Amino acid sequence: MKRLIILCMAFGIMTSACSDRDDDLISINIRVKNMSSLVFDEVIVGSEDHVYETLSPDTYSEYQEFETAYSYAYIQITSGEEVYVLQPIDFVGEEVLPIGLYTYELNVDAEGQVILEFRID
């Protein structure tokens, strides 16, 4: 019986210590991953309020909080002297993302088009 009580206490401590990294979020959090072979000197997501700086190939930025966001957005990437833009036409029919952690994986193709892959973290 004593072992059962100790086992139950240990199980209770282990399960209460575990939490998801998004348990305490109060907003939408988006980070950027550079999927290209270019160095991104600056990435603007949505507006000048959300600027990510100096992303080497295959690296992630820190998360930034957004009040409203969608699975895609206006993206402006500056790499050296080049500027690449993804300009959505509208968000008709799109739903606002719920509070959570997300990644915009960004690439630039041979024609200079920005490719955005949306990921839920």
Q: What is the pLDDT of residues 33-75, one digit of tens each?
A: 999 999 999 999 998 899 999 999 999 999 999 999 999 999 9
Amino acid at 28: I
Domain locations along the chain: 22-120
Q: What is the pLDDT of residue 9?
A: 52
pTM value is 0.80
- Cβ contact 69:102 at 8 Å: yes
Per residue in 3-44, pLDDT (tens digit) is 545 544 555 444 444 444 555 789 999 999 999 999 999 999
Q: What is the pLDDT of residue 117?
A: 98
Angstrom distance (rounded) from CA 7 to CA 75: 52
> What pLDDT is stored for residue 34 in this prediction?
98
What is the assigned CATH class of domain 22-120? mainly beta
- Give 54-113 as a DSSP string: EE-TT-B---EEESS--SS--EEEEETTEEEEE-----TT--PPPSEEEEEEEEE-TTS-
